[in-house]
Chains A and B, each alone.
Chain A
């Protein structure tokens, strides 16, 4: 009984989202669909990075590396399964199952990469962790470039990938990442991550296995970055090592910081605004990127905690909290 209820609770968000996504996919014109796909992929990327950077307070700059692992693993799986059709299913259903499977392979591969990066890196803190994760991202890129062309296409990458990434897939991915992050944030496991962010020494002293939790945060985050990578690969139809460079990691970081570190809704909104905004400004060509950089600096100067801080949209109606008393409790009494 309990099992059935929890299964229902887990499936509910997806079942609610599905008709909307289907309708959008069915009736939306091609260009908005394309933009929406990128919005969704960026939501997956930003929210997953928020688990590491926002929840856990570890600063990772290597998200693109995990994306590329996911993208390549998904793409290779799809290429290997190109001629396969599940006999007991009609063709569209079979394609969908195979693509879902390939995305899972990509997530698994990326999470292994997350584990490999996370284990050694997490002895480091702050800036050093940032630069090491950046380094890992670059190593992953160079290693892909150094592989035999027949395997991962070296510098040219892989092309001719089937275009399976529909709005439905992207939407389900975005729902999955948001549900994952939200349930985590409201659980004891999530609170352990927050404790690490607030004070690692105290968290460890209170019985939180900080290393273990940091690695887990990394692995979860990497898995969803891998999903974003897989979705991009089969949205564009081709991938190359430079699609997932340092710039891409930075973009993800910018979305997270812009929305507010630790705020899931902040990441979602920032991913949406930035993606759509850059798309609308496309005609201004190079100036949009200059404006983007300027906005980043100005925003940090004016509102360093990001648009949402650590607040969430759903807090507005969910919590019947004594907000007034909390806000007016006065300055911290001389705490160091």
Chain B
């Protein structure tokens, strides 16, 4: 097989002119992936926590709403959701809001649509973890809280949630890893994150192997860093006496 390996290509200035290198492009994509994933993750945690709690409350309407929310976001493919956020929702919003969105910077549009999409997609999964964390608590905890004269919100706030939060950290690790991987889907609407830059590099440099290997290694790197970070967090929040606890 005659293939000219040329790892030096990353240090060459890009064909579009300017003094950027292809490595600079990759770094831009890397930063975009990180920024997108982290901002979406924060929203997903907040929304997921609320929806997850609602799934466990006795009120039929609230828990029904939360169940519907989770089912909708879990049963539509991520790519379809992304296209709905990017192409459809701006059309369905009131005209003023929709036009305001369409007139903003295209990169910002792509970023916002991707962020909302990833955040809500992940929030449904976070909600499921929160729910199973709350349901895994012994029922006596809730009863004890209520018997002490706490209201239901107080029982959640002071008794159940502090425990549940610590129990769900390990399963949340895999969701956190997933959000970085899922962010690659956003390359389909033109957001220049890591995977999209990889494709661009193939087109511009005609060095497909180097470009793809570099992007793949970047994803592996993110994965390893997140895994070690979360292991450290898990070590700190483990509940003594529970499986996996100290």
A binds B: no
